[in-house]
Structure 1
Amino acid sequence: MSEPKPLPFIYQFASGAIAGVSEILVMYPLDVVKTRQQLDSTNAYNGTINCLKKIVKEEGFSRLYKGITAPILMEAPKRATKFAANDEWGKFYKGFFGVPQMTQSLAVLTGATAGATESFVVVPFELIKIRLQDKNSKFNGMSDVLKHIIKQDGVLGLYKGLESTLWRHIVWNAGYFGVIHQVRGLMPKPKNSTEKTLIDLTCGSIGGTFGTILNTPFDVVKSRIQAGSTKYVWTVPSIGTVFKEEGFGALYKGFLPKVLRLGPGGGILLVVFTQCMDFFRTIHNA
């Protein structure tokens, strides 16, 4: 199946932004539950449903949306950067290696590079989100966290957890885009827009699930590093610490809400992004 003609960067960026905000509005409560489970080193939450019930019962339903301002502000540049960087790096690598179309290995390499690019955009927003989602958080909102971090650690303090974020995003994006390329190649050519949407939803959901399986251990330690614990500093040693003290299962704390979000969420992202790009393509070529 031939690849569609690339669009200018601004269209890629806008499509990614719209896709990101759409996904976060639907899936955010699962992100709160995921973070709570990842920060829980005492096993206070007995599974995803128990965690969800406890949050609502003890803190109110609105707690499931606390900290959403930071992700909303983050999602536009984050997802826009993800898809735009993936497309731009894809064009670069195809030219660099002299291949006319994307291959499986290039899809993985492109996704990994896009993930690294994306990481530099999202770290400050992720840091603020984690501080607000923490059960023990005393912060009233995004600006409160921002002032505290800058006062305590300076502007560079906003990049606490950059190394672990790089690990998380490189691994997830490599898996996500790599699997999407592979699964799309196995799918029949869509005969209409409905079939195209279903194929995108399937590819994106499978890609999101696979990426989540690969990167959850990195996400667990990233959450703990950004929560402010001095016990966790660098990613690989932190993974070893969690494994030694809490067992292998602890490296997959929050996996269920994470995969429930990023599996279907990955499908939502791809569908909305693709449809936006198709719309912008008709405008651009008009």
Structure 2
Amino acid sequence: MAQQPQHHQPFSHHIIAGAIAGTSEILVMYPLDVVKTRAQLSTGTAKALPIFGTMKSIVKEHGIGRLYRGILPPILMEAPKRAVKFSSNETYKGWFSRNGKLYQSGAIASGMMAGVTEAFVVVPFELVKIRLQAKENAGLYLNTADAIKKIMKNEGPLAFYKGLESTIWRNAWWNGGYFGLIYYLKNTALPKANNETQEFFRNFISGAAAGTFGTMLNTPSDVVKTRIQNQYATLKPGDVPKYNWTYPSMALIYKEEGVKALYKGFWPKVLRLGPGGGILLVVFDYVTNFLKEH
């Protein structure tokens, strides 16, 4: 079934709605992101601690505040990140529509292109967040400002874009899966909503299922991205980086640690981005409708 492209709302609406939706998701789900990052940075074949076991260990060793270490960069990037994600997705829908109608292939392609666009916005914030979350960097950076200062001094301004290529792949896979599945569910699988309550559950189910699906697609590239961005924190002059491009790095991880290593951090990631995808879509849809009406 084809979908008629929606009327574009002002970019300011996407900034406001994106910031509110993204910040809501982060405040609820962020501790799972810390657990995910630590799992992805662990090397070897040793079995990782369960999710709540990891959280308990972090709290016991460093206090509950450590579960929110590195939260400032994601919050600061939420407004531009979500605005770019949803606004560019709407723009690309027009590109991939045929005779004024959007089809399934166009929904996937526009989502992937939105992910590529979003990647250029989020890379610096992601790099700082990863550096602050990593267990091995616990004594290296005092806070967000200190991390930015030291990265700039020791690695130069271009360091903030390390991992761009892997972030492009990660975001393209997630956004293509996310927006593509939302299109399918809303246009084919789920019944139309007749009231606000039904629309709420329709959005949450679509967003949660799509967030889960996107996570299944992009976790291997996310593992690589995390390792690429963190390795430079302790790399000495003359050392050769172990991880560089996405797919060769995937092959290396598979060779050294097995296929399961490409899905390290999957469960905390999916527990965050599954329900988180539902929260994101529900809040974004509500705020944009509110702004449109008022």
TM-score with structure 1 setting the length: 0.94
8 Å CA contact 1:13–1:83 kept in 2: the answer is no
Q: What is the CA-CA distance between 1:4 and the residue it aligns to?
A: 4.2
Alpha-carbon separation, structure 1, partners of 2:198 and 2:244: 46
Q: Deviations over 1:178-206 (max 9, x none)?
A: 00000111211111111001000000000
Counterpart CA distance in 2 for 1:222 and 1:90 is 28
Contact 2:5 2:93 (8 Å CA) reproduced:
no
Deviation at 1:49, TM superposition (A): 2.6
Structure 2 residue aligned with 1:275: 286
Summarize the alignment of residues 116-127 of structure 1 with structure 2, pairs less than 5 Å apart: 116-127=116-127
Per the TM alignment, residue 5 of structure 1 is displaced from its structure 2 partner at its CA by 2.8
2:131 maps to which residue?
A: 131
SS of structure 2 residue aligned to 1:136: helix
Residue 245 (structure 2) pairs with residue 234 (structure 1): yes
- Please tell me whether residue 7 in structure 1 is matched to residue 9 in structure 2: yes
How much has 1:99 moved relative to structure 2? 2.7
SS of residue paired to 2:244:
coil
Aligned match of 2:55: 52
Query: Does 2:266 align with 1:263?
Result: no
2:205 counterpart of 1:194: no
- In the other structure, the counterpart of 1:203 is 206
1:85 Cα deviation after fit: 1.1
SS in 2 for 1:227: helix
Q: What TM-score comes out, normalization by structure 2 length?
A: 0.92
Structure 2: gaps of 5 or more residues: 233-240
Looking at structure 1, the residues matched to 47 and 142 of structure 2 have their Cα atoms a distance apart, in angstroms, of 24
Provide the rounded CA distance (Å) in 1 between the counterparts of 2:15 and 2:109: 20
- Higher mean alpha-carbon deviation, 160-169 vs 146-155, is at 146-155
Deviations 1:83-113 (CA, angstroms, capped at 9, x unpaired)? 111112212332xxx4322210000000000
Residues 1:74 and 2:77 are matched in the alignment = yes
The count of residues paired between Structure 1 and Structure 2 equals: 280
Percent identical: 52
Match of 2:108 in 1: 108
The alignment yields a C-alpha RMSD, in angstroms, of 1.4
Question: Over residues 38-93 of structure 1, what are the superposed CA-to-partner deviations in whole Å (9 max), with x where a residue is unaligned?
Answer: 00114373232322221112222110001111111012211121111111221233
> What do residues 98-137 of structure 1 show as CA deviations (whole Å, max 9, x unaligned)?
4322210000000000000000000000000000000021
* Conservation of the 8 A alpha-carbon contact between 2:26 and 2:75: yes
Q: Following TM superposition, by how much is the alpha carbon of 1:12 offset from its aligned partner in structure 2, in angstroms?
A: 2.2
Map 1:172-183; keep pairs closer than 5 Å. Answer: 172-183=174-185
- Paired position in structure 2 for 1:254: 265
Q: Which moved more, 1:134-143 or 1:41-50?
A: 41-50
Unaligned regions of 5+ residues in structure 1, if any? none
Retained in 1: the 8 A contact 2:5–2:100?
no
In structure 2, the CA distance between the partners of 1:62 and 1:266, relative to structure 1 (3 Å rule), is: same
Aligned to 1:218, which of 213, 217, 221?
221
Name the CA distance, whole Å, in 1 between partners of 2:5 and 2:88.
Answer: 17
Q: For 2:78, what is the secondary structure of its paired residue? A: helix
Conservation of the 8 A alpha-carbon contact between 2:151 and 2:159 = yes
Question: Could you tell me which of 81, 91, 94 is aligned with 1:88?
Answer: 91
Q: 149-158 vs 9-18, which deviates more?
A: 9-18
State the match for 2:235 in structure 1. none
Cross-structure match for 2:23: 21
**Whole-angstrom distance in 2 between the partners of 1:108 and 1:40:** 32
4+ runs deviating over 6 angstroms: none
Residue equivalent to 1:156: 158
- Rounded to whole Å, the distance in 2 between the matches of 1:68 and 1:9 is 25
Secondary structure of the residue that 2:151 maps to in structure 1? helix
